[in-house]
A and B are shown apart, each in its own frame.
Chain A
Amino acid sequence: GENVEQHPSTLSVQEGDSAVIKCTYSDSASNYFPWYKQELGKRPQLIIDIRSNVGEKKDQRIAVTLNKTAKHFSLHITETQPEDSAVYFCAASSNYQLIWGAGTKLIIKP
């Protein structure tokens, strides 16, 4: 079945530096790739998503890139801030069901 692998499981960066989280998926029919941020004790919230007809999408300090040939996509956060500390989940979908990555705990060091 469909599988999504996410790396790293934990990422620690200095405040102001960039952070990159990578995901690979197995189902070549996948066409929707969202990223969710979950702060401690809160609900997952969509921060950015990309569909398979584009290769990159940006929203202020956040960007997502998609390589359909290699079946991987990445989340890029620039100029990290303390409020970026959270667990980030990637997911992939070809129908109603999102297949989730295991999550990356992002730690922003002051």
Chain B
Amino acid sequence: DAGVIQSPRHEVTEMGQEVTLRCKPISGHNSLFWYRQTMMRGLELLIYFNNNVPIDDSGMPEDRFSAKMPNASFSTLKIQPSEPRDSAVYFCASSLDRGAGANVLTFGAGSRLTVL
């Protein structure tokens, strides 16, 4: 398996623009997480999907952020409109929700977002 695949790896955009980050989880994993990492706040869980259904979105900062998982192999995180304070590395991670590998997160390489 190629692991968790994220795109783009780097995104530089201007304030007010829409940003879409993409994630392909490991095949067979039924839990998917979006995290944001900054020096100031560390790793923050934004949203958790289980079997393609959003279970916990309490970490989504505000209405400018939205996430979807239309099928088991694809998820998006959208920011509209983007602001400079959204600059961070966004990680997608996936895992199984049961069995010996339950909760063992595998992270993607991350998407580094810079909003000017």
Contact = CB atoms under 8 A, between A and B. Distances in A.
Interface residues of B, number: 19
Nearest to B6: A43
B56 interface: yes
Determine chain B's interface SS by DSSP, over half rule: strand
A44 B107 contact: yes
A102 B42 contact: yes
Contacts, number: 40
Contact of B107 (A45, A49, A97, A100): A45
Contact of A96 (B55, B107, B108): B55
Contacts of A93: 103
B8 to A, nearest CB: 15
Pick the most buried of B31, B45, B50: most chain A CB atoms within 10 A of its CB.
Answer: B45
Interface of A: 32, 34, 36, 42-46, 49, 89, 93, 96-98, 100, 102-103
Given A42-B109, A44-B91, A102-B42, 6 more contacts: A43-B110, A46-B105, A96-B55, A96-B103, A97-B56, A98-B103
